[in-house]
A and B are shown apart, each in its own frame.
Chain A
Amino acid sequence: ELTQPSSVSVSPGQTASITCSGEKVGQRYICWYQQKPGQSPVLVIYQDSKRPSGIPERFSGSSSGNTATLTISGTQAMDEADYYCQAWDSTTMFGGGTRLTVL
């Protein structure tokens, strides 16, 4: 099971951090997906910290122990969305999702 905070708020230009915790997080790669209302999810981080082509540099990821973290530096209004972490071993699981609000 992957646990995320249900909501995170951040002011424009500040840094947002979204965590994903679970007893096996440190033993496998974590991905992060962004989903805006009415749209399909988009991969923003894979293998804990790698950014796919086209994803802004302000998105970064890290993992330590049983917690992975998605960090958005210089958060913009367009970053307001739901964010999901995901892991894979014998099965695939998603975290419950975090609603990021840019106030």
Chain B
Amino acid sequence: EDQLVESGGGLVKPGGSLRVSCAASGFIFSTAWMSWVRQAPGKGLEWVGRIKSKTEGMTQDYATPVKGRFTISRDDSKNMVYLQMNSLKTEDTAVYFCTTEGSYGGVFWSWGQGTLVTVSS
């Protein structure tokens, strides 16, 4: 069974940085596309970005609101995916979910429990 466990959330000041992590197990991580999806308090789901597998060049795609500020990376030797968030804004406050899209994208098969990131002075 797929398992995704996020960590690293917390309180950060506007303009600050934070890295959240996701530990994956129960599936072949190296061939999986991994995405981050966020949900602001009381709001809907918003896709943040994805990283494809090594065979797809580890290509990354990002949503417009975070492009240039957020970076997704992966370590296949550790079955880990990371979201580095820089120049954080109050509107980035949300629960950040790690998800897996399988080997070809477009479907979020499994989700982690989420980690809360709060951007506030």
A residues with CB within 8 A of B: 29, 31, 33, 35, 40-43, 46-47, 52, 82, 84, 86, 88, 91-97
Contacts and interface: CB of A to CB of B under 8 A. Distances in A.
What DSSP secondary structure best describes chain A's contact surface? strand
Interface residues of B, number: 20
Interface of B: 35, 37, 44-47, 50, 61, 63, 97, 105-114
Contacts of B114: 40
A93 B114 CA distance: 19
B105 to A, nearest CB: 7
A97 B44 CA distance: 6
B111 A92 contact: no
Contacts of A86: 45, 108
Contact of B45 (A29, A41, A43, A52): A41
Nearest to A40: B111
A41 B111 contact: yes
Contacts of A46: 107
A93 B35 CA distance: 13
Contact of B47 (A29, A35, A94): A94
A29 B110 CA distance: 18
Contacts of B105: 88
B111 A42 contact: yes
A47 B107 contact: yes
Given A92-B50, A94-B46, A96-B44, A43 B63 contact: no
Nearest to B108: A43
B42 to A, nearest CB: 11
B5 to A, nearest CB: 11
A98 to B, nearest CB: 10
Contacts of B109: 43, 52
A29 B106 contact: yes
B94 to A, nearest CB: 13
A96 B40 CA distance: 12
Contacts of A95: 44
A94 B107 contact: no
